[in-house]
Structure 1
Amino acid sequence: MRTFKNAHLLLVSLSFLMVWSVAYGQRIRLSGPTGSEIPTEYLVEKGDTLWDICDHYFSEPQRWPTIWALNPHVTNPHWIYPGDILRLRHPGQMGADGVANKPFSYTVGSEGTRQVTINEGFIVDAPLESAGQLSYSPHTQQYLALDDLVYLELTDLPAARSGQRFSVYVVEHDVVHPETQDVLGQKIRIKGIVEIETVDRHMARAKIIASYGEIERGMSLMEEQKHHRVVNPRQNLLDLQGMVVDALSPSKELAQFDTIFIDRGTKQGVQVGNRFFVMRRGDGKFEYKLKINKTMPWEQIGEALVVVTRDNTATALITRSAVEVRRGDRVIMQRHY
């Protein structure tokens, strides 16, 4: 009898360990393409979560609130079920027939072509003066999303009014130049937009009307930054060299439509609409190992369009790339291009 009980306990223990190892020891594998081959819709499979889906397709799991906001039929982001269909692209990226289009319009070398860009971050040379913070919410969850109610504590509450909008942001880190190690400023990441509904003597009641990432209590507010901008390419007025010092995405490998930051700004003559060639030299396979790399010719690997300028930095959108762009790559602006 004791032997049977011991065997039974051993079987239960082994079953628990097997369940634990499946739940925590295995990485969920999602079917379908990755990177630039992001589908319009995704069919949920057993074991999927919004976090893992965003990690798989965007390499940014914290993007899950944006995907949740695109799928109003998902009432609880922590519960999605096999057979559910999730939209992975913003409605603004859909054509009239519902087919996903590239979100940008661009023709290399031509002026007057309108470029629609997404503004979710930039570098500031000096610390921002916050307009207040998103302090509270009646909701119980840690991460807030589209249409959630929030309460704002504003630095100038008497001037607040119904309909006024603020961008919610975080300071991610200091941006250090890859070559000189100088601190160029702080990287600002915009998480969403809130709109005031009512104001009382103590705070403003608002609603989240746009979500681009995880929004939490305690995040700072600034004057609304337009999420979509229309930029017309313009002719470069001077020759200039610079470097890719950081990017909006934490990924080391950057590609077309990623946002990068360049160590040249208005004080160096950079204007919105200017175009930089992205350059690199060396052997692609042994890039960091061969001393002879420094004697090889520079090759053009991509192009970027300037969409925001600051005193000593610029935000640019990679409009085309032959290979992955990286922090530390050179950029050049050619006069009359």
Structure 2
Amino acid sequence: MKKMIFAVLALTAASVFSWADSSPFKSDSPDEYVVEKGDTLWDISETFLDSPWLWPEIWHANPEIENPHLIFPGDVVRLVYIDGQPRLTVDRTVRLTPGGDAKLEPTVRVLPIEEAIPAVSLDKIASYLSRSRIVMPDEVEGVPYIVGGSEKRLITGKGDTAYARGTVPDGIGNFDVFRQGETFVDEQTDEVLGIHALGIGGVSIDKIDGEIIRVHVTRSDEELRAGDILLPNVERSVDSIFYPSAPDFPIEAEVLAVEGGVTQIGKMDIMIINQGDRDGVQVGNVFEAFVRGETIEDRVTGDTLKLMDERAGLVMVFRTFEKLSFAIVMEATRPMAVGDLLRNP
């Protein structure tokens, strides 16, 4: 009997040590954290977890609160045990008096979803959520384009009159104005992956005379220039609430471009990668970034050697298109560059 008890205790201890070795939680993880305005889901995940992309695996939605999958300033994220396993959940509190809190009962207070904390600071990605997009060649073929401003000005801003040339589809009076950027092509297959279109403003149609279109500039994030194209103003639902997660299956991507055309990429920089919806990439997917190993010559033997790829940090996808995606650098242990590789964490 003593041997049996000892065996059970030994097995229990072994399982505890095994869990401790594989636990996603940091050794100094707090028991709870009060969410503050300005926090991001990545920040909170890093507070508790060694690997922030494991958030979906350890999150337990509290069924007693409104929108249990969202986190708001003032919420308390707690480390709890459910069926013997550590999980994170949220308690929603409401401030009654200075220094006094009360637990929020279901449906007592409904918070606007817009107030939920985002995965990453929206200041960093806002223009890429609302202004930039990836378009295909057929989407921009034959569309109207700016030819100049009034009084022969080549650039115009908000409130100005400008002129465009082209054919306006029936029933459309408002357009977004885009500046065509780089066209991305698969080097192996020559397939066009997309064109980076930077949104710079908006116009409304004033008058059409043949192929000449007079427009009023209603929005100007940058000055409009000759050659900028007009695309119909279409409301697109772009979700800013998402969660860090690992891809569902192995994916390898390559960095094609970086915001501003800089040569080296650091933390919070925006990049365009060569994988998208068709490849299974999802918003929130986290990848490890690797600097490609150099190719060198062995001076002893004359052989050509390929050095190992070196880990450079973490990036998270925040918007996907059919063949490409936008991602942001969340961690940078060394400078990255166009051509570097992304792999599952």
Change (3 A) 1:200 1:187: closer
Q: In the alignment, what sits opposite 1:218? A: 227
Q: Do structure 1's residue 149 and structure 2's residue 161 form an aligned pair?
A: yes
Residues of 2 paired with 1:160 and 1:299: CA distance?
51
Gaps of at least 5 residues in structure 1 are 1-95
Q: In the alignment, what sits opposite 2:306? A: 294
Residues of 2 paired with 1:157 and 1:126: CA distance?
18
Cα shift at 1:230: 2.1
Choose which of 248, 251, 261 in structure 2 pairs with 1:240: 251
Change (3 A) 1:275 1:210: farther
Cα contact 1:142–1:216 (8 A) shared by 2? yes
Residues of 2 paired with 1:267 and 1:140: CA distance?
45
Cα shift at 1:204: 4.3
Cα shift at 1:183: 4.5
Cα contact 1:165–1:195 (8 A) shared by 2? yes
User: Which deviates further from its counterpart, 249-258 or 138-147?
Assistant: 138-147
Change (3 A) 1:293 1:272: farther
Residues of 2 paired with 1:219 and 1:303: CA distance?
35
Change (3 A) 1:263 1:227: same
Matching residue's letter, 1:142: L
Greater per-residue strand proportion: 2
- Secondary structure of the equivalent of 1:207? strand
Cα shift at 1:173: 3.8
- Secondary structure of the equivalent of 1:128? helix
Residues of 1 paired with 2:163 and 2:41: CA distance?
38
Cα shift at 1:231: 4.5
Q: In the alignment, what sits opposite 1:27? A: none
Q: In the alignment, what sits opposite 1:75? A: none
Residues of 1 paired with 2:262 and 2:243: CA distance?
27
Q: Do structure 1's residue 190 and structure 2's residue 198 form an aligned pair?
A: yes
Cα contact 2:137–2:195 (8 A) shared by 1? no
- Secondary structure of the equivalent of 2:322? coil
Matches within 5 A, 1:37-116: 106-107=42-43, 108=46, 109=52, 110=55, 114=118, 115=120, 116=122
Matches within 5 A, 1:321-332: 321-332=332-343
Cα contact 1:265–1:311 (8 A) shared by 2? yes
Residues of 2 paired with 1:293 and 1:301: CA distance?
21
- Secondary structure of the equivalent of 1:230? coil
Residues of 2 paired with 1:323 and 1:223: CA distance?
41
Q: Do structure 1's residue 280 and structure 2's residue 291 form an aligned pair?
A: yes
Question: Structure 2 length as normaliser, TM-score?
Answer: 0.54
Residues of 1 paired with 2:317 and 2:270: CA distance?
10
Change (3 A) 1:143 1:136: closer
Residues of 2 paired with 1:258 and 1:166: CA distance?
25
Cα shift at 1:270: 0.7
Q: Do structure 1's residue 135 and structure 2's residue 147 form an aligned pair?
A: yes
Cα shift at 1:288: 5.3
Q: In the alignment, what sits opposite 2:327? A: 316
Change (3 A) 1:224 1:300: farther
Q: Do structure 1's residue 166 and structure 2's residue 176 form an aligned pair?
A: yes
Cα shift at 1:138: 0.7
Question: Structure 1 length as normaliser, TM-score?
Answer: 0.55
Pairwise CA RMSD of aligned residues?
3.6
Residues of 2 paired with 1:158 and 1:204: CA distance?
16
Cα contact 2:41–2:243 (8 A) shared by 1? no
- Secondary structure of the equivalent of 2:278? helix
Residues of 2 paired with 1:206 and 1:303: CA distance?
43
Cα contact 1:146–1:208 (8 A) shared by 2? yes
Matching residue's letter, 2:315: A
Residues of 1 paired with 2:162 and 2:248: CA distance?
46
Cα shift at 1:331: 0.1
Residues of 1 paired with 2:159 and 2:311: CA distance?
44
Cα shift at 1:146: 3.9
Cα shift at 1:295: 4.3
